[in-house]
Structure 1
Amino acid sequence: MMLIEERLSRIQEILEAKKSASIDYLAVQLKVSKDTIRRDLIKLEKQEIVKRIHGGAMLANREAMIFNYQERAGKDQVIKERIAKKAAQLIKNNAAVLMDSSTSVEAIIPFLHDKGILAITNSLSHASLLTQIPSSEVRILPGKVHKQQLFIYGAETVDKIRDYFVDYSFLGVFAINADGMFIHTEEEGLVKRQMLLQSKQTIALADHTKLDTTGLFKISSLKELDILITDQEPSSDFLTALEQNHVELILV
């Protein structure tokens, strides 16, 4: 049986690799009860190693997880492009689409040249790229501008999203587990939450490092999600949760 010191060390290793993780995931990985994991996380939080959040934990230095736009754009580009290409194939011609500010969603744009879409976004960079597609119509949401990550947010942004009802909303996932989708900041989370409420179909894009992880702010439960596109099969518990919530899983 693993000693407590070994278990605490293993939890740190998992969080360093995945950036955040749910209690359920940690319990399965360490083969202990969820109550044991909760006690371990309390110890690690007292040592200021981790920060406990809804349903799990993240590294205490949360700022290390929040990349600026250029850093985010360069991460795992090959996987992003595979996921994005599949997402673009789901879009029917002349559809109306809400696109969040994630670089995963941005990767869809090069595959949209023959679609003739109406794209509504809160991202300055997405809007710029979309204007280069002659067949597209582009609308950018109003609000405050985040200067480092180039997205628009705030009450004005959320209110304007309520004016639309579109065919698809595309959301890049920061963290997702059996309890739902999460992100590290409330301002982005509120925008994403409203986007998924204003579409016929919500499609989430997540590479395998985002699965069975958690975040500070809960965007929604899984039942609000229609499709999850990722690059590796999730854990059996997460697969069960997707099936129970009628979320279609697409692997690329």
Structure 2
Amino acid sequence: MALNYTEIVRTGLSRQVAESIRAAILDGRLQVDDRLPSEDELARRFGVSRPTVREALKVLAAQNLIWSRRGPTGGNFVSQPDPEGMSRAITDAATLLVAVGVFNVDEMVNARLETESLCCRLAASNHSAADIAAMQAEIDLQQNASLSDEDYCASDVRFHRALVAATANGPMRLMMYAVIESFIPISNMLIFPHHERARATASHQNILNAIAAREGETAAQLMRGHLEGMRSELTGALDRRAAGRAPDSQSKTDMSKGSQP
């Protein structure tokens, strides 16, 4: 067993055990489907109690790093990595960072400008007929004037998700997960109902046409124009929010002045 059993101090024991096993998985000392030692054996080698080991294993299971099987041939085994599960964790973290103001609007738009332009180039080279059909289906839906804002936003996310899928590039799909599942919904939440849906839908169609024609650079430039337009809408939405708060602040100031002798 290629685990280091000596680097455990007496604080945060379960976390340290989990980190030690996690490090062995990430650097390849433990391979997919390798069976971990029993809880008793891990407790003995790490010099901790079985409940401490059990808590560490729960942490690793929650991170989708191990799975368990009951029975005579059971135990805890190293999991096959789950890109979608890891992507969800990235998305949750990104959403939280945006919510508390760590990422601002310009940062989100700039990130999308660079990454989605690259996605357009890759999609133009690598797309399948099914990818084109998936994006076109969303555009057709977006052209329905009776579509609610919520449903339009959901379709917008699916369009960009399909565009990323069309890159046929696994690492790109992983990296783009937070952009698609976090940044786009947050942006949509800010700009609707002031969003010009017809213009956005037309932009989607133009981008798709260029991708379908395998004109990657044209698609990338169209995407940049689409996102720069969104930047203007986001700035306007934030300005409207600020203006909406200003009268309250002013009235409070006036009330404060009026209450002075």
Q: What TM-score comes out, normalization by structure 1 length?
A: 0.25
Which is richer in helix? Answer: 2
Which is richer in strand? Answer: 1
Q: What TM-score comes out, normalization by structure 2 length?
A: 0.25
In our comparison, the structure showing a higher alpha carbon Rg is 2
